[in-house]
Chain A
Amino acid sequence: MRLINRTPSRSGWLALAILPFALLLALYLTSSTQRLELNPNDKLLPSFGQMSATVERLAFTPDKRSGDYLFWQDTASSLKRLGSGLAIAAVAGLCLGVAAGTLPLFGAPLSPLLTVLSMVPPLAILPILFIVFGLGELSKVMLIVIGITPILARDLEQRAREIPRELLIKAQTLGANTWTLILRLVLPQLLPRLLISLRLVLGSAWLFLIAAEAIASTDGLGYRIFLVRRYMAMDVILPYVAWITLLAWAMDFSLRRLTQLLFPWYEGAKA
């Protein structure tokens, strides 16, 4: 049978999905054990025992100096920044995208501007953000907003243009004005797409967040990672990276479930 026609069975599929993760884990465990045998003080590849001790210290015992649970405090401040950045960017991107994609008079000035703006590397203007918005929360949130709004807006503009012309005309024959046409036709059709775009830019949003926290912050997941880098504390860095990955995956998963839940017609319309 040709390779293209061969599909794994249900259990085979699960085994194949787990396989690469298991391999990576095994590779790490063997190399870690080897290095620790040679030098028990090696910091590069800590054992799982060392890492869980560190997590225990950071997450479940109050910090000696401040009395806070550092791990949860880092998580809370990072998620707050990420959440507000994503929310602002989603609203701004949706408004810009709908305006540029639906109304030609708005699209003419907006769409070239968005194209150029989306080419500006957000990290390159991070110093400007720090100067303009100060070193507080605002500049970090703004980096996320500036980084992903043009991407969202351009994607939604494109989707708005893809709405068949027939539907826009039909809505007008049903008595819609421009505003109600956007409200009842364009917006509902773009919302599921917005959730999908958000999933796609989640990676960039985390990148911007960690970059901003690494440079100027007093807490946050990115701050902690870059703080302990100077002690080569891999027993902190690796659990933090794993935690960030888990958070990002959970957000992606819940956005996908939310799309299915809120817009049951969406997948059907695609087919």
Chain B
Amino acid sequence: MSENNAKASVAAQSSQGTTQPGTRAGGNPGSFIQVKNVWQQYGDQVVLERLNLNIAEGEFCTLVGASGCGKSTFLRLLLGQEAPSRGEILLDGQPLADEPDASRGVVFQRYSVFPHLTVLDNVALGLELPRAPLLGRLLGRRKRDAREQAAQMLHKVGLGHALDKYPAQLSGGMQQRLAIAQALVMKPRVLLLDEPFGALDPGIRKDMHELLLELWRETRLTVFMVTHDLSEGFTLGSRILVFDKPRIDPHAPGAYGARVTYDIPLHEGRHAPGASAGLPTALADSFRTAYQGA
């Protein structure tokens, strides 16, 4: 795992250590995803302000921060579920499609799998839908091929024994494995994870970390993962983005939004405790609960 982090961080930004937001100018043509001066506000409530990021292909970005700091909002922007109020996000130089599509896979904390389909059909669905715009399903030989491919994917995530079960018969961890398989079978360029392991037991979470890193190593896709768990952020990520509100007006809590206050490329041998020690005490304090819970 650690050598991968090292590889990824080479591919990542040249600047090292903690950097302040806004110091990187957008428009670096080499980067895969460019976030250019993005604001997101709902009415008077500013959630995100002045986000500028360049993300190289193959990076594993973990998004951490206190609740309500816009991590999930940022993920929704990347997903295309919402459009930014100001600014733009470029994927490979092209503006991001403003609705979810097959180029970006997603795994939510809950409700990621279809309860009415068996495990096998849940994954095969992703192979059927793009090829059958009228019926939504493949027939005959093509259907068998899709199912075979889906079964291979499921064996890879360790669900080979549960192909004919319905999701309700699976444990929480197995449901998330299924959701990951479902997303990966589409071979997306970007994988978005919104607290995918938040509802899982610590032991199972650890297995899931291994699985995810293995798959990331193999596919080299660009991953964004929102997590409440700081150590999870440090263990998994090749780059960690900390969301926080630098300014707070006590009379108008919605006046200022969150920004990326720390953008840390992670290195080989860097472990969670040592890395978090580098954070200011105030920030580390705000994470303490999540950190201890890990």
Contacts and interface: CB of A to CB of B under 8 A. Distances in A.
Q: Do A and B bind each other?
A: yes
Contact of A173 (B105, B111, B117, B167): B105
B166 A264 contact: yes
A177 B134 CA distance: 9
B186 interface: yes
Interface in B81-112: 81, 99-102, 104-106, 108, 110-112
A166 B108 contact: yes
Interface of B: 79, 81, 99-102, 104-106, 108, 110-117, 125-126, 128-130, 132-137, 166-169, 179, 182-183, 186, 188
Contacts of A171: 114, 125, 129
Interface stretch (A42-50, A179-187, A194-202): A179-187
A188 B167 CA distance: 15
B166 A183 contact: no
A268 B137 CA distance: 24
A19 interface: no
A172 B79 CA distance: 11
Interface string A241-271: 0000000000000000000000111101101
14 contacts: A166-B112, A167-B112, A170-B108, A170-B111, A173-B79, A174-B186, A176-B129, A180-B132, A180-B135, A188-B117, A263-B116, A265-B166, A268-B166, A269-B115
A169 B135 contact: no
Given A170-B108, A170-B182, A175 B126 contact: yes
Contact of B104 (A167, A173, A180, A264): A173
Contacts of B104: 173
B176 to A, nearest CB: 13
A263 B166 CA distance: 11
Nearest to A269: B115
**Interface residues of chain A: helix, strand, loop or mixed (majority):** helix
Given A171-B129, A184-B125, 17 more contacts: A164-B111, A166-B110, A170-B111, A173-B79, A173-B102, A174-B125, A174-B129, A175-B102, A175-B126, A176-B129, A179-B136, A180-B134, A183-B135, A183-B136, A184-B136, A189-B116, A269-B116
Interface centre among B111, B135, B186 (most CB of A within 10 A): B111
A268 B106 contact: no
Nearest to B168: A268
Contacts of B126: 174-175
B114 to A, nearest CB: 6
Interface centre among A167, A174, A175, A264 (most CB of B within 10 A): A174
Nearest to B103: A173
B72 to A, nearest CB: 12
